[in-house]
Amino acid sequence: MTRKLVIFDWDGTVMDTVPKIVNTIRKVAIAHGLEPISDEASKSIIGLSLEKAMATLFPEQQDNSADLALTYKRLYKEDTTPAVVFTGVEALLAALKNDGYLLAVATGKSRVGLDNLLAQSGLRGYFNITKTADDANSKPDPDMLQQILRELDISPEQAIMIGDTAIDMQLAKNANVPAVAVTLGAASAAQLEKYAPLAVCESYAQLQAFLLPEHVNAEFCQ
């Protein structure tokens, strides 16, 4: 079946925000006098809705997850860790759009957070639809992808999900959408390969070679 839709995660997939997220979580623990969280643990929750992420990282603070989330939002805005779009993202989006693909974002960010970064990055115009944790159940519940498919009238087999975390891979599996993993963000190739994605790519050059092999002369993903 012909593929028509490419769905991108945001954090660690489109934009290099993982260091900023990890640093902000570290500051949340300090602000609330909690035990520090390892970088690996912080990376493991990227993709979850914010309150669910806080509850997962600080299980003893389940009843205070909303307050932790508010602290996170404030500190994230204040944090000065650089966050930039990965090299090759816009070139791939433009090529896919030119070939007639529909493009979407499925992210655990808030609507305000995603809208701010879409404006900051200048990428808003490439996407036909975007879904956030404010619009759907938290990943890896398939609700987010199911909404996108339904609203664009696309079957799961006609779509593909691009993500950098185990949560993204599980999301795709739960929605019966094929997935491609990228190692630019939170998870390693070994961690992502467990979910049997169609491919694991180390760069956007490799991703473009996989998605649009007729347009590029580059090394394919594994």
Q: Are 144 and 151 a contacting pair, CB within 8 Å?
A: no
CA 79 to chain centre: 20
User: Which stretches in the chain have pLDDT values below 50?
Assistant: 218
Sheet containing strand 129-131, edge to edge, reads 129-131, 102-106, 5-8, 159-163, 179-182, 199-201
Specify the pTM.
0.91
3-state secondary structure of 159: strand
Q: What pLDDT, on the 0 to 100 scale, is given for residue 62? A: 84
Res 52: pLDDT:
93
Q: Element (H or E) spanning 171, and its range? A: helix 166-174
Instruction: Catalogue all structural domains in the chain, each as residue range(s) with its CATH number.
Output: 5-16+84-211 (3.40.50.1000), 18-78 (1.10.150)
| Per-residue pLDDT, 43 | 93
**Full 3-state SS string of 80-129:** CCCCCECCCHHHHHHHHHHCCCEEEEECCCCHHHHHHHHHHHCCHHHCCE
